[in-house]
Chain A
C-alpha cells in the first residue's frame, strides 16, 4: 500500500459499471444485445465536453489506469506514471477515461461475466472481438458521456492499434491520436508467439474447453506458461542481461530442475501471479484480436489508403529495443501517414526495456509526451460549437 498518496497521483478512485442496451453488431457476425463496460475517470470534463482523453489498454490491461482503488493497493493503476496532476496527461487539464474492453476480465462483459440469456458465465461462448468492435463500443462510451470529439485517443501496444483504428473509423471524433509501441498488423512471428500461448492454455487439462468456471478450476499452468512466454517478448535481451544476467539464487548450481537462475524464478513468479489474476478465455480472445488486426485489409492492403480518411493529428512513438513491435513497425505507420498527407510526428526512444518501455517513465519519452500533450491542450476548442 502507498504510505501516503503522492501529490501527482489522481488519488483514490472508484470504477463505474455502465450498462449499454443498444445492440452492438460485431465483426464476427454476432450481436451483443446488451453489455457492460467498466470504466474509471480522472479529472473534470469541461463544459464544452472538449477536453476528454480516451486511454485504450493493451493485452492484459484494464480500466484501472491511474491512482488507487483503496489504500491497501500494492500498486497504482497500470499507467500511473503518465496520468495525474502535473503529469504528461495532466488531470488538471484533461478528463481522462480508462475502460476495460469487451471480452476483458475486470468487470466489463466478457467470458468470466454472467450471460444474461443463460445466467451462467459466457465462457468460450463470448464472441471473439476485433479492434474495430472495441472502437465501436468505445464510441458508445463517448456518447454516454456526451463527448462528441476526443481531445485525444491514446494507447500503447494493442492500445495503440485501437487509437489508430479510431482515426480510420471515426475520423470526426478525435483531434489527436497517439500510437505508442504498436504495429499496423501482426507479423507471422507475432502470431506464432500468440499461438504457442493459446496452445499452452487450451491444452491444460483444467481448461475444459473453456468451461472451467463450472468445474471450479482454472487452467493455471497454461495461463502461467502463456504469461511467461509473453513476458520474454516484452523484455529485451539487453534488458534481461542487465536485470538478471546469469545470477544464481543460491550462488551455485544444484544439478536439478528447480529454478536456480534469477530469470527463472522471476518468470515463474510473474506467471504464477498472472495466473491467479487473469482469465484464460480473455487471454485467448485478446491474442486473437491482436492476430486479426489489419486495418489496411479493407483497403486492398494499402495502409496509406486506409489512413487517408483520418482527420486528426498523430504522434507515433517506438522504443529501440522493442522486438515485439519494433521501431520498424512504427516507422511503417509513420511512413503511411506521411504518404497519406497526414500531420504526424515520430520519435524513437532509446531504452533497454524492450516492449515494456511504453509503461516506464523514461525521461526522454515523458518529455516528448509532455510536449505533445501541450499541443493537444492548445487544440481544445473553447466553445462547444467549434471543432478543430
Chain B
C-alpha cells in the first residue's frame, strides 16, 4: 500500500462514511472497507480506474469533480479524502470549501512546489520543473494549480480552516526525520487533515 494511504488510513475512524474524491483504482477505499468497515464511495473520471474500482468491489461514481460536487448533500460524510488531485482543479480554493461542506473533516494531499528540487530546476535551468514524480511539461500537465505548503496554509488561515494534523513525506511517501527540519524545502508531498 502507498505510504500516504497508510498515513490517511490511521486518520479514519472505523465504521465511518468516507468519500474519496479522485479515488483512482479504489485502493484506499478497498483497504478501508476490508479493515475498517467504512462505507464509502469514490468519485473518479478516468474510465480504466472506474472499471478497476468495480472489479475491486469499490463503489465508484463517475463524476467531474470540478462541477459535480454540488449535488452531494452537506455534512453527508464523516471524512472526505482527496489525494494528489487538488493541483489539477480549476479552483482549488472552491473545491476545498466544497470538500469541507460535504464532510465533517477532510484529508488532502498534494505535491509541494516549494521543494528544493523544484526550486533548483526553475532557478538554474529557468524552466518549469519536470521530474519522474511530476513528468508533465507545462502545456500538457493536468496539474494547473501548484502550490507550496506555505501557500496552502495561508489559504487555510484566510478561509478559517483549522488544521487538525499535518505531515510531509518524500516522493515515495516515506517519512524522513530530516524533512521535518524544513518541510517547505525538503518535503515533496503534504498530507493535511483539516476541518472547520
What residues make up the interface of A, taking CB atoms closer than 8 Å to B?
315, 331, 334-335, 338-339, 341, 343-348, 364, 367-368, 371-372, 374-375, 378
A162–B62 alpha-carbon span in the complex (Å)? 23
**Cross-chain contact of A367 among B51, B60, B62, B72 (Cβ < 8 A):** B51
Contacting A at CB under 8 A, from B165-188, are none
- Given A331-B71, A335-B72, A338-B72, is A371 in contact with B51 using a C-beta cutoff of 8 Å? yes
A341–B72 alpha-carbon span in the complex (Å)? 12
A347–B55 alpha-carbon span in the complex (Å)? 13
- Return A344 CB to nearest CB of chain B, in Å: 6
Contacting A at CB under 8 A, from B70-96, are 71-73, 76
- Return B15 CB to nearest CB of chain A, in Å: 13
Establish whether residues B61 and A344, one from each chain, have CB atoms under 8 Å apart when the complex forms. Answer: yes
Number of B residues with CB within 8 Å of any CB on chain A: 19
A345–B57 alpha-carbon span in the complex (Å)? 10
Establish whether residues A346 and B54, one from each chain, have CB atoms under 8 Å apart when the complex forms. Answer: no
- Decide if B59 is an interface residue (CB 8 Å cutoff): yes
Interface of B, helix, strand, loop or mixed by DSSP: mixed
- Decide if B110 is an interface residue (CB 8 Å cutoff): no
Establish whether residues A372 and B54, one from each chain, have CB atoms under 8 Å apart when the complex forms. Answer: yes
Contacts of B57 on A, CB cut-off 8 Å?
A: 375, 378
Establish whether residues A364 and B47, one from each chain, have CB atoms under 8 Å apart when the complex forms. Answer: yes
The 3 closest A-B pairs by CB, nearest first: A371-B54, A346-B61, A371-B55
A341–B57 alpha-carbon span in the complex (Å)? 16
Q: Could you pull out 25 A-B pairs where Cβ atoms are within 8 angstroms?
A: A315-B54, A331-B71, A334-B61, A338-B61, A338-B72, A338-B76, A341-B39, A343-B39, A343-B59, A344-B61, A345-B53, A345-B54, A345-B59, A345-B60, A345-B61, A346-B63, A347-B62, A364-B47, A367-B51, A368-B54, A371-B54, A371-B55, A372-B54, A375-B55, A375-B57
A188–B17 alpha-carbon span in the complex (Å)? 36
- Return B157 CB to nearest CB of chain A, in Å: 32
Contacts of B62 on A, CB cut-off 8 Å?
A: 346-348
- Given A367-B51, A368-B51, is A344 in contact with B59 using a C-beta cutoff of 8 Å? yes
Contacting A at CB under 8 A, from B41-60, are 41, 47, 50-51, 53-55, 57, 59-60
- Return B55 CB to nearest CB of chain A, in Å: 5
- Return A24 CB to nearest CB of chain B, in Å: 36
Contacts of A315 on B, CB cut-off 8 Å?
A: 54
Contacts of A367 on B, CB cut-off 8 Å?
A: 51
Establish whether residues A339 and B55, one from each chain, have CB atoms under 8 Å apart when the complex forms. Answer: no
A331–B54 alpha-carbon span in the complex (Å)? 17
Contacts of B63 on A, CB cut-off 8 Å?
A: 346
Closest to B53 in A: A345
Closest to B45 in A: A348
Contacts of B60 on A, CB cut-off 8 Å?
A: 345-346
- Return A367 CB to nearest CB of chain B, in Å: 5
Establish whether residues A347 and B71, one from each chain, have CB atoms under 8 Å apart when the complex forms. Answer: no
A334–B61 alpha-carbon span in the complex (Å)? 8
Establish whether residues A368 and B71, one from each chain, have CB atoms under 8 Å apart when the complex forms. Answer: no
Contacts of A347 on B, CB cut-off 8 Å?
A: 50, 54, 62
A335–B61 alpha-carbon span in the complex (Å)? 9
A371–B17 alpha-carbon span in the complex (Å)? 24
Contacts of B55 on A, CB cut-off 8 Å?
A: 371, 374-375
Establish whether residues B47 and A338, one from each chain, have CB atoms under 8 Å apart when the complex forms. Answer: no
A344–B63 alpha-carbon span in the complex (Å)? 13
- Return A40 CB to nearest CB of chain B, in Å: 28
- Return B59 CB to nearest CB of chain A, in Å: 5
Contacting A at CB under 8 A, from B110-153, are none
A73–B47 alpha-carbon span in the complex (Å)? 37
A343–B61 alpha-carbon span in the complex (Å)? 11
Contacts of B51 on A, CB cut-off 8 Å?
A: 367-368, 371
Contacts of A334 on B, CB cut-off 8 Å?
A: 61
A374–B57 alpha-carbon span in the complex (Å)? 9
